Amino acid sequence: MRAISDYTQASSKRKMFGAMPTFEDMAVGNCAPWLKTNCSSKVGGVNVGWGAIRIGLYHKHMKRWLDNFPMEQIHIVDGERLVTHPALEISQTERFLGLKPVVKAEHFGIDPVKKFPCVRRPDGGLHCLGKTKGRKHPEVRPDVLRRLRRFYAPENQKFFRMINRSLAW
């Protein structure tokens, strides 16, 4: 979930300034100063004023792109599949761009520590993304995850209709 990823990023940067509220407090807790938002901005018990929640409203971002470009000129990369099947996802991008597919599964390896995909260099070594990628996300209470899924479900459906494709979130 995008909000959890954003929270993980923010909390890793914030460690030098002290503890950060929990994800649950930020996403569904009572309005607090750290949200820097209007206390009435809750929908379905979710703090929609929090930027980490708003960034996951993909249909709003996509609309701006579609106001300027037809969908045929836009390629959506499935971030989950990019992690689980990087060669497959990149080969779809190659086809979209009209390129001869050259990327294969053997061009990737897995970071032994983070278990995140890396590009295999010609010498066989791995080139992995920086320390900010592939971090462990916090465990989130099941009731909060359910509330967020209920909140995002209609928003995701709007996005899926726009792109004429469903993604497995």
pLDDT at position 31 is 60
pLDDT computed for residue 37 by the predictor: 57
Give the integer Cα–Cα distance in Å for 34 and 147: 21
Say if residue 150's pLDDT is above 70. yes
Please indicate if the annotation marks 133 as binding a ligand: yes
Residue 54 assigned as binding residue: no
CA distance 15 to 141: 22
Whole-angstrom CA distances from 69 to 31, 58, 64, 74 are: 38, 16, 9, 7
The rounded Cα 146 to chain-centroid distance in angstroms is 17
| pLDDT for res 118 | 94
* Of the listed ranges 46-50, 112-116, 128-132, the one predicted with least confidence: 128-132
Residue 146 has pLDDT above 80, yes or no: yes
Whether 115 has a binding-site annotation, put simply, is no
DSSP per position, 10-29: HHHHHGGG-----HHHHHHS
Residues, the chain, total? Answer: 169
Residue 59 is assigned to a ligand binding site: no
* pTM confidence score: 0.82
Q: What is the pLDDT of residue 39?
A: 54
What pLDDT, in 10s, does the model give residues 25-66? 889 887 666 656 555 677 888 988 888 999 999 999 999 999
Instruction: Print burial letters for 85-108: b (CB count within 10 Å at least 16), e (below 16).
Output: bbbebbbbeeeeeeeeeebeeeeb
Question: Does the structure show a pLDDT above 80 at 108?
Answer: yes
For the record, the structure tokens of 6 come out as: 């954003």
8 A C-beta contact, residue 42 and residue 53:
no
pLDDT confidence band for 82 (50 / 70 / 90)? very high
107 is in an annotated binding site: no
Instruction: Give the model's pLDDT for residue 130.
Output: 80
Query: Is 135 assigned a ligand-binding role in the annotation?
Result: yes
